Amino acid sequence: MDFQPTRDFAVQLDRDDELFRFRESFHIPKHTDGTNSIYLCGNSLGLQPHQTKTFLNQELDDWAQLGVEGHFHAQHPWMPYHEFLTETQAQIVGALPHEVVIMNTLTTNLHLMMVSFYQPKGKRTKIIIEADAFPSDRYAVASQVQFHGYDDKEHIIEWSPRDGEHTPRLEDLENLLKEQGDEIALIMVGAVNYYTGQFFDLQKITELGHNAGAMVGFDCAHGAGNVDLQLHDSGADFAVWCTYKYMNSGPGSLGGCFVHERHASNSKLPRFTGWWGHNKDTRFKMRDDFEPMYGAEGWQLSNPPILSMVAIRSSLDLFAQAGFDNLRKKSIQLTNYLEHLLNNLEGDRISIITPSNPKDRGCQLSLAVKHADKSLFEAITAKGVIADWREPDVIRIAPVPLYNSFEDCWRFVEVLKNEM
C-alpha cells in the first residue's frame, strides 16, 4: 500500500478497518486538556476493557452472596476458573490447550521452569541469554546458576549484537553453539526483546539448541498477544509470559506458562510442587503422594486468585471476538504505517532500531534519540503522548491493534515533528 502522510488518509484507513470498533471497548486515558491521550504504551501496560468492571462485579456479587459456595455455584465457578482461560490463551500463543496454564507471575514461573529444565551436569552447566535481556530475566538466570553452586559471571553466556548493530544475528548464536555447545545446558531468551522490539526465530533457536543437546525456553512477555509465537510448532521446552501488557489484564496480573506436550506426563522431571498441580480427582483427599496433573497444569502451586483471572478472561473475550490472526494482520499494517511516517521525518535526531522486516518484529518500534536526550520524550509527554523511555536513549512506541488507530499514529508523528 502507498501510504500518504495526511490526517485524511489515516482517518480513511480507520474507516476501512474492520477491527476499529474494538477501540470503543477500552478506557482511553485523558490528557490534561480533556481530549484522549495518544496512548502508545501497551507494551508496558495494556488499557482496561470497559467490560472488566462488569466481569469483576459479577464475582464480587457471587462472593458476597455465596461465600465459599462460589467455588462450585458462582456463575463462573471458581474451582475450574483457570480452565475458562485456556483455549483462547492457547490459540494466542500457538499451543495445544494442555500445554498452557495461567498461574503465578512471570518471574515466578520462570524460576519454576528452570527448576525443571535447567539441570547442570558435568561440563553442561551454562545458560545462553541475549546480551540485552530484561533485567528480571538476567537476575533469575543468575540466581539459578548460583543456586547450583556456579559463578554466574562464568556460566552465563551472552548472545550479543555485532559492533555497530543493535540486534543479534542468528548465525552468531549458531557459532556460539559450535564453540561451546557441549557446555550449554539451557538457552533462555526473550522471544521479543523488550528494548529493541526484535522478534526472534523461535523455531530455529530451538532447533539449534536441541541439536547442541541443550534445553530451550523463552520469555514471551513482549510476545504474547503481540506476535504469532507458535510455541508448539517451535518445539521449545517451555515458555513464560505476563498478561498485563498486550493482554490488558491489569497491573501486576497473573502470568502464563507453556510446557511442550512431550514433557506432559514426565513425572521424573524435577519440579517444585503445590497442591493445585496434583491430580484434581484426588486433590481434596489430602493424604496422597503428589501426582502431577497432565501437561502444564502439573506445575501449578496454589489455588488461583480469581479476581485477577477475571480481568484476564475479560480481555481474552475481546481477543476471541477479534480473532488473533486478524489482529496480527492489522498490527503489521499499523506498524508499517507508523514506520513510514517516522522514516519521512526530516533530520537525524531519531532512528528506528527495531528490525524493518515485519516477520522480525511485533507492533513495537524503538526510537533511538541522538545524544540520549530525554527532553524530547518529556516534550511529547507534555503534549499528550503516553509512551515509554528506556535508558540510555530509547523511546518505545507500540501501536496496539485492539485499541490503537491509524489516526493515533499520525497524531503521534505530528507531535514528534513539532517538538523536534
Using alpha carbons, list the distances in angstroms from residue 362 to 56, 191, 328.
30, 11, 8
CATH number of the structural domain spanning residue 273: 3.40.640.10
Residue 313 inside a domain? The answer is no
- 3-state helix/strand/coil string of 143-170: HHHHHCCCCHHHHEEEECCCCCCCCCCH
- Residues 131, 90: one domain? yes
Output the pLDDT for position 281: 87
Residue 71 inside a domain? The answer is no
Total domains present in the chain: 2
- Residues 139, 264: one domain? yes
Output the pLDDT for position 1: 77
Sign of CA dihedral 142, 144, 145, 147: positive
DSSP code of 19? T
Residue 65 inside a domain? The answer is no
- Residues 118, 16: one domain? no
Output the pLDDT for position 348: 87
Domain's final residue, options 247, 272, 303: 303
| CB distance 295 to 261 below 8 Å | yes
Residue 61 inside a domain? The answer is no
- Residues 238, 362: one domain? no
Task: Tell me if residue 206 falls in helix, strand or coil.
Answer: helix
- Residues 102, 232: one domain? yes
Taking the C-alpha atoms of residue 130 and residue 365, their distance in angstroms, rounded to an integer, is: 19
- Residues 88, 42: one domain? no
Residue 126 inside a domain? The answer is yes
- Residues 370, 237: one domain? no
Residue 134 inside a domain? The answer is yes
- Residues 260, 336: one domain? no
CATH number of the structural domain spanning residue 335: 3.90.1150.10
pTM: 0.96
Domain's final residue, options 243, 271, 303: 303
Where the chain has pLDDT below 50, the residues are none
Output the pLDDT for position 371: 82
Task: Tell me if residue 118 falls in helix, strand or coil.
Answer: coil
Residue 74 inside a domain? The answer is no
Per the structure, the complete domain to which residue 388 belongs is given by: 7-49+323-419
- Residues 347, 291: one domain? no
Output the pLDDT for position 372: 77
Output the pLDDT for position 267: 86
Residue 74: all three cell numbers together: 458462582
Output the pLDDT for position 94: 98
Please list the residues that pair with 128 across neighbouring strands: 157, 187
- Residues 33, 90: one domain? no
Residue 72 inside a domain? The answer is no
Residue range 193-204, pLDDT digits in tens: 999 999 999 999
- Residues 11, 109: one domain? no
- Residues 340, 296: one domain? no
